[in-house]
Amino acid sequence: MIGVGKIKQYSNVLDKPLSKGKQEVSLSAFAFLFSELVQYNQTQVDNIAELERRLEDAGYAVGARVLELLCHRDKGNRRETRLLGILSFVHSTVWKVLFGKVADSLEKGTEHEDEYMISEKELLVNRFISIPKDMGTFNCGAFVAGIVRGVLDSAGFPAVVTAHFVPMEGQQRPRTTILIKFAEEFRLPSYEDSVHMTTLHRRNALGDIFEANNCSYQSTTKRSKVRLIYVPGLITCNVYDAQQEHDECVNALQQHGEGW
Amino acid sequence: MATTACFIIVSRNDIPIYEAEVGSAAKLHQFILHAALDIVQDIAWTTSAMFLKAIDRFNDLVVSVYVTAGHTRLMLLHDSRNDDGIKSFFQEVHELYIKVLLNPLYLPGSRIASSHFDTKVRALARKYL
Find the helix or strand (DSSP H, E) in which B85 lies: helix B83-101
Domain extent, residue A248, equals 195-259
pLDDT value, residue A6:
65
**Interface contacts (A, B; CB < 8 Å):** 128
| Pair (A69, A135) in one structural domain | yes
Question: Which residues of B, range 54-113, sit inside 8 Å of A by Cβ?
Answer: 55-58, 67-72, 91, 94-104, 108
Q: Could you tell me if B71 and B50 are in contact, meaning their C-beta atoms sit under 8 angstroms apart?
A: no
Question: What is the value of ipTM here, to two decimals?
Answer: 0.89
Residues with pLDDT less than 50, chain A: 187-204, 206-207, 209-242, 258-260
**Identity of the residue in A13, A69, A230 whose CB atom sits nearest the CB atom of B28:** A230
CA distance A126 to A140: 6
Quote the number of domains for chain A.
2
pLDDT value, residue A256:
60
pLDDT tens per residue, chain B (129 residues)? 447 888 999 998 888 999 988 877 777 888 888 888 888 888 888 888 888 878 888 888 889 999 999 999 999 988 877 888 899 999 999 999 999 999 999 999 899 989 999 999 999 988 887
A230: in domain? yes
pLDDT value, residue A186:
56
Instruction: Supply the pTM of this predicted model.
Output: 0.76
A83 to chain B: closest CA residue? B45
pLDDT digits (tens, 9 = 90+) for A221-236: 333 333 333 333 333 3
pLDDT digits (tens, 9 = 90+) for A123-170: 888 888 888 888 878 888 899 999 999 999 999 889 999 998 888 888
Q: Give chain A positions within 8 Å (CB) of B50.
A: 77-79
**Using alpha carbons only, how large is chain A's radius of gyration in Å?**
25
pLDDT value, residue B93:
93
User: A240 and B10 in contact by Cβ < 8 A?
Assistant: yes
Q: Could you tell me if A175 and A166 are in contact, meaning their C-beta atoms sit under 8 angstroms apart?
A: yes
| Pair (A163, A48) in one structural domain | yes
Task: Write the CB contacts of B129 (distance below 8 Å, at least 6 apart in sequence).
Answer: B3, B5, B22, B78, B80, B82, B85, B86, B89
The sign one gets for the Cα dihedral A28, A32, A38, A39 is: positive
| Pair (A172, A233) in one structural domain | no
pLDDT value, residue B47:
86
* CATH label of the domain that carries residue A43: 3.30.1380.20
CA distance A68 to B72: 10
Q: Could you tell me if B9 and B123 are in contact, meaning their C-beta atoms sit under 8 angstroms apart?
A: no
Q: Could you tell me if B17 and B109 are in contact, meaning their C-beta atoms sit under 8 angstroms apart?
A: yes
**Using alpha carbons only, how large is chain B's radius of gyration in Å?**
14
Last residue of a domain, one of A186, A210, A235: A186
Q: State whether residue A160 is helix, strand or coil.
A: strand
